[in-house]
Amino acid sequence: MKVVVIDDDKAMHLIMKRMLAKVNEIEIVAIFQETITAFSFLTKSTADLLFLDINMARESGMDFAKRLREYGCDIKIVFITSHKEYALPAYEVFAYDYIVKPITEKRLHLTINRALSEKAAQGKKETNIETVPQPFFIEPLTKREKEILTLISSGMTNKEIALLLKLTEGTIKNYGVHIFSKLQVKNRVQAIATATKYNLLD
């Protein structure tokens, strides 16, 4: 299982490395002190579990999680924080877990083992399903849909696209629904991957 850690405290980096190193199935693929480079990494790479601090200087972990979800990133997010009061808002961004500092090895491993069990069960389920290749047909995208998909692939949010194209955010969301439907995908990450695979933005 691939893990990413984001915390502006370098001491937490060392603590997380030490605790995670004791789990054989875990691979730390990246550690960040801020969210700018972390966002770029997470939208271009594959990871399973994100350990995210909430109280950070430039962008809070909560705001960053909202941005990830709006982009379509469905990584499991585990908040690691000293603040208990954000527990309920955390689940509005579909947090996988919420751990209050000081973090203990036992509590951390409990979350990891749950995630590993779910991943193993999902893999077993997919293995047992007989798959029959189906012809892939994509309904052609309109010029405007291609334009919006190109902006999505550049990492822009719905709000940013709406401002650029002088449209409402609701209109952009509707375009997104139509694009996802035509591409037979569920989120932005899948849409970008499909568009790239079939050269839809050329």
**What is the per-residue pLDDT across 74-119, written as a single tens digit (0 to 9) for each?**
899 999 998 888 888 887 888 899 999 889 999 999 999 999 988 8
- Model confidence at 135: pLDDT above 50: no
Percentage, residues of the chain above pLDDT 90 = 49
Q: Which residues pair with 50 in a beta bridge?
A: 4, 77
Mean pLDDT on 168-195:
87
From residue 53, alpha-carbon distances to 42, 82, 122, 168 in Å are 16, 9, 28, 32
77 vs 23, 112, 159, 171, 201, CA distance in Å?
Answer: 18, 12, 23, 29, 31
Domains and CATH numbers, the chain: 2-128 (3.40.50.2300), 143-197 (1.10.10.10)
Res. 137 pLDDT band, cuts 50 70 90: low
Q: Is the dihedral of CA 81, 6, 111, 75 positive or negative?
A: positive
Record the pTM: 0.64
